[in-house]
Each structure stands twice: as C-alpha cells, then as structure tokens.
C-alpha cells in the first residue's frame, strides 16, 4: 500500500458506530466496520470490561483475542464520557 492509497477515503468513512458488544462475534463484526473506515466506539461494562480481556495475556499483557477483535476502535466505559456520542452532530443552517 502506498502513502497515497492509505489516505484515500474508505467505504465507511464518516460513519460512527456505537458498539455495545462483548465476547468475540460482535467485536469481530465491528472490527470489519472499523477496517472499512467507520469510527467504532466500543462501550464496555463499567468495572468489568469485555470478557475476552481475561482469556490470556500474550500481547504485552493483553488478551490476544481482545487485541485482534478491537483494533482501530475507540473505547470507554464511562456513561458520562460517552453519553453525547449517540446524539446527532451539531448542524448549522444553510
């Protein structure tokens, strides 16, 4: 891949996905969306997180399954921090 093609817009550029998922199938699906250019924001259960975090500690102390399934995503567990993400962006009149 050249520098020129890596900057080209991807199919889902500009799409925001709020990922309320756990385990492996849901995170894998939203990983595909993120790889296609969507902004994926993963919300985890406060205090617990995703269950796959505890599978192993192969990747610098992190679970290999978690690292694989959650690349290219933003993450958070605070309701207060992420509450405004579901709201539509502010639009000005034309």
Per-residue pLDDT of the chain (94 residues), as tens digits, is 555 556 778 899 999 999 988 888 899 999 999 999 999 998 888 778 888 888 888 888 888 888 888 888 887 655 555 555 555 555 444 4
The answer to whether the predicted template modeling score (pTM) of the entire model surpasses 0.75 is no
pLDDT of residue 15: 93
pLDDT of residue 70: 85
78/18 Cα distance (integer angstroms): 13
Q: Which residues of 59-93 are buried (b: 16+ CB within 10 A; e: fewer)?
A: eeeebebbeebbeebeeeeeeeebeeeeeeeeeee
pLDDT of residue 89: 54
pLDDT of residue 52: 85
Neighbouring CB atoms inside 10 A of 25's CB total 9
């Amino acid at each position: 891949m050249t520098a020129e093609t890596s900057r080209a817009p991807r199919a889902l550029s500009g799409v925001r996905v709020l990922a309320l998922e756990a385990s492996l199938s849901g995170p894998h699906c939203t990983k595909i969306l993120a790889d296609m250019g969507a902004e994926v924001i993963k919300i985890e259960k406060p205090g617990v997180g995703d269950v796959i975090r505890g599978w192993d500690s192969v990747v610098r102390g992190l679970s290999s399954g978690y690292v694989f399934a959650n690349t290219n995503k933003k993450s958070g567990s605070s309701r207060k921090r992420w509450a405004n993400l579901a709201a539509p962006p502010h639009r000005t009149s034309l």
